[in-house]
Amino acid sequence: MPSRVINALRGTTLRTRLTIWNAAVVLLITAVTLLAVRFAARRAIYADADLEFRAATREIALAVRELDPDESAVVAEMRRKAQSHEERGWFMQLLTEQGRTIWQSDHCPASVAAFPPAYLDREENVVQVGPYRYVRLRIERPGRPAYHVRVGMFTALLEENLARLLRILLTVGLALSMLAPLAAFWLAGRATRPLADILHTAERLRPTRLGDRLPIRGNSDELDLLSKTINGLLDSVASHVDQQEQFVTDAAHELRGPLAALQSSLEVAVSQDQAPADRQELLTDMLEAARHLSKVANDLLILAEAGSVARPTTHGPVDVGAISRQAVAMFAGVAEERGLALSLDATGSALAAGDPVDLRRLLSNLLDNAIRFTRPGGRVEVKLVDAPASSGLILTVSDTGTGIAPRDLDHVFDRFYKADPARSHGGSGRSGGLGLAICRSIVESSGGTIGIASRLGEGTTVTVRLPAGLPATASPQPPQRAAVPLVGAAGHRR
């Protein structure tokens, strides 16, 4: 049966279910309370009657002791007392030790008057015989046979008083039964109103309208906690949408220039007859623009993958020392062309937790940035320090290049951010503004941190802290240094 009720309620609204359950609980409590009150009232009414019966028997016992052995005087006293309680339906009886009735009131029922003498020796004071209840008391008479006194009444009179009380209780219970559903419906409405507000706000949300927030009532209850949680989620969604919109806008702006240059070169190539040398120069410019577009597109893809929760990554122990040596060897030729000294200083095991592909890209971007911003004759140094286990591995890439203005330091890791163009000294000037943003994404996905320190005209140092990897099973590589003097030009920092 309860399962059927639950199944029937599943298709109803929360307010309806709360109303039904609250009303049912109130009605159940009311019914239990009425039964408990009736039981307690019955005990109280009978207990009060017993107290009065005992008081009357004690008064009769006192009169017997005062008037004994004048039996007629005792009977007269009992008759007077019986008349005083006649309206309440009391009966009284005076018996001898052998059970012979000396006197009894008019209301004394035959069943009590014929009470067996054997019961006179019983110790209990309160006796219930059918619908009659009375108190018996043995009155000792020095030198004479004892008397037995009975004082009681027809219990129907007590039940009548109880019935009147019960009718009052039933009236109250009926009123509560009628008011309980209404009160439960009102309370359920107040309880579910915040949920209705949440639903109303959720219905208004659109991809182009994410500014609405759920109201916080300040009660610090579960509904406030739910509202705060949903508001936090909405803040994250709105921030993510804003970032995506800004990202698309910046990407379109970044691609517009190279595409326009490529289109212009193609139009010139198609519309005009040119000398072989001019045509070769034009094709070279077109190839450079195409390479730049390819690089920007590749960087955009990397950032998109970095922001995807479904992107598979491997965060195992990686030999950053080996990756650093490979990166330094790969950029040695570029550094030589630009007249730079490129060196590596690696100590300890140089193990860190991360993805090897991502860490190679991290080193490549940092070295490319440092080399392109360092004037001929300058230095670029990669340094690895195996810090304590709490810190992991520290990787620094330092250069003696043009440096970064203080106002730009807080923004160099932003997507598409470009520092002062004055930092370009002979480079191509085409920067996607994504290199350092990719570096930050890689480091953060590995559980590390990245920071930058720079002085304008003196150089820049990028510091990367990576979490420690598993203990190395091979012997650590000895410290290595590689220095290659080179000559070349610099470009915009990405």
What is the tens place of the pLDDT at every residue in 458-473?
A: 899 999 998 876 543 3
Distance CA 45, CA 6 (A): 43
Q: Please, which residues have CB within 8 angstroms of residue 133's CB and are 6 or more apart in sequence?
A: 46, 49, 50, 126, 127, 152, 153, 155, 158
Number of C-beta neighbours around residue 142 at 10 A? 6
Domains in the chain (CATH in brackets) are 2-160 (3.30.450.20), 222-306 (1.10.287.130), 316-466 (3.30.565.10)
CB 130 within 8 A of CB 149: no
Residue 2 has a pLDDT of 52
Distance CA 149, CA 10 (A): 67
Distance CA 105, CA 151 (A): 10
Number of C-beta neighbours around residue 343 at 10 A? 18
Number of C-beta neighbours around residue 106 at 10 A? 10
In this structure, are strands 90-95 and 126-129 parallel, antiparallel, or unpaired?
Answer: unpaired
What are the angstrom distances between the C-alpha of 427 and each of 35, 393, 431, 456, 491?
95, 33, 10, 18, 4
What is the widest separation between alpha-carbon atoms in the chain?
161
Residue 452 has a pLDDT of 92
What are the angstrom distances between the C-alpha of 257 and each of 225, 269, 349?
49, 18, 45
DSSP character at residue 97 = T
- Cα within 13 Å of Cα(380), Cβ side: 36
What are the angstrom distances between the C-alpha of 338 and each of 103, 288, 333, 342, 490?
139, 19, 9, 11, 8
Q: Within the chain, which residues score under 70 in pLDDT?
A: 1-12, 110-124, 207-208, 247, 250-251, 253-254, 257, 272, 274, 292, 295, 299, 302-315, 347-349, 387-391, 418-433, 469-494
Q: Is the pTM of this model over 0.75?
A: no
Q: DSSP E strands: which ranges in 282-324?
A: 316-319
Omega before 276 within 30 of 0, i.e. cis: no
Residue 272 has a pLDDT of 66
Number of C-beta neighbours around residue 189 at 10 A? 13
Which one, of 120, 67, 60, lies nearest residue 90 by Cα?
60
Residue 383 has a pLDDT of 92
Residue type, 325: R
DSSP character at residue 86 = G
CB 461 within 8 A of CB 313: no
Residue 470 has a pLDDT of 53
What are the angstrom distances between the C-alpha of 103 and each of 93, 107, 328?
6, 12, 129
- Virtual torsion, Cα 186, 189, 190, 195, nearest 10 deg: 170
Distance CA 350, CA 31 (A): 77
Q: Please, which residues have CB within 8 angstroms of residue 15's CB and are 6 or more apart in sequence?
A: 185, 188, 189, 192
Which one, of 63, 110, 109, 62, lies nearest residue 89 by Cα?
109
Which one, of 400, 423, 403, lies nearest residue 490 by Cα?
423
DSSP string, 364-425: HHHHHHHHHTS-TT-EEEEEEEE--TTT-EEEEEEE-S----HHHHTTTTSTT----GGG-S
CB 128 within 8 A of CB 156: no
Residue 376 has a pLDDT of 92
Burial class of 5 by CB neighbour count within 10 A (0 to 12, 13 to 18, 19+): exposed
